[in-house]
């Protein structure tokens, strides 16, 4: 009986530490929304350059999209529902940008445009969720 209470007490302490750590690493909703806007700009530029046949620009902007998405993932508040909803879209953007990076800038830009367009769609959806983050300090 005493053992169970000790385990329960340790579980509560561990959970409160995790919540505190999530607040310590979480950025303000405004900062996350600004990062999301920068990520969306890169995603739009990536597809625009792909349409013009510039393979190097696709790879460059896709790399920037992946950096933004990774930074946002690391600083999302775990307690906000919209933050949780943005996670799979950010992960999808990173996955598609990884495909673009693996293809490199020497392939036909049309080939890398498909995953780039999928990354842009994921970014748009993630930004929609980021814009819905509460300003109440999620």
- b/e for 85-115, b at 16 or more Cβ within 10 A? bbbebbebbbebbeebbebeeeeebeebbeb
* Confidence tier at 110 by pLDDT (50, 70, 90): confident
Q: How many domains does the chain have?
A: 1
Residue 43 lies in a domain: yes
Least Cα distance to 131 among 13, 47, 36, 16 occurs for 36
pTM value?
A: 0.76
Q: Is the pLDDT at 8 greater than 90, yes or no?
A: no
Residue 19 lies in a domain: yes
Write out the two tokens for 6: 């000790």
Residue 138 lies in a domain: no
Domain that holds residue 65: 2-131
Residue 136 lies in a domain: no
* pLDDT tens figures, 16-72: 333 334 444 567 888 888 999 999 999 999 999 888 888 899 999 999 999 999 999
Residue 137 lies in a domain: no
| CATH code of the domain in which 96 resides | 1.20.120.660
Give yes or no for a contact between 59 and 42, defined as CB atoms under 8 angstroms apart.
no
Give yes or no for a contact between 21 and 130, defined as CB atoms under 8 angstroms apart.
no
């Amino acid at each position: 009986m005493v053992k169970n209470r000790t385990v329960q007490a340790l579980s509560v302490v561990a959970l409160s530490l995790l919540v505190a750590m999530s607040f310590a690493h979480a950025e303000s909703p405004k900062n996350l929304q600004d990062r999301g806007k920068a990520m969306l700009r890169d995603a739009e530029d990536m597809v625009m350059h792909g349409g013009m046949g510039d393979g190097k620009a696709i790879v460059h902007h896709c790399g920037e999209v992946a950096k933004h998405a990774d930074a946002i993932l690391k600083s999302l508040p775990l307690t906000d529902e919209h933050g949780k909803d943005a996670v799979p879209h950010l992960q999808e953007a990173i996955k598609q940008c990884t495909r673009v990076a693996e293809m490199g800038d020497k392939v036909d830009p049309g080939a890398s445009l498909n995953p780039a367009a999928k990354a842009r769609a994921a970014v748009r959806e993630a930004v929609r969720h980021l814009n819905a983050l509460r300003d109440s300090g999620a």
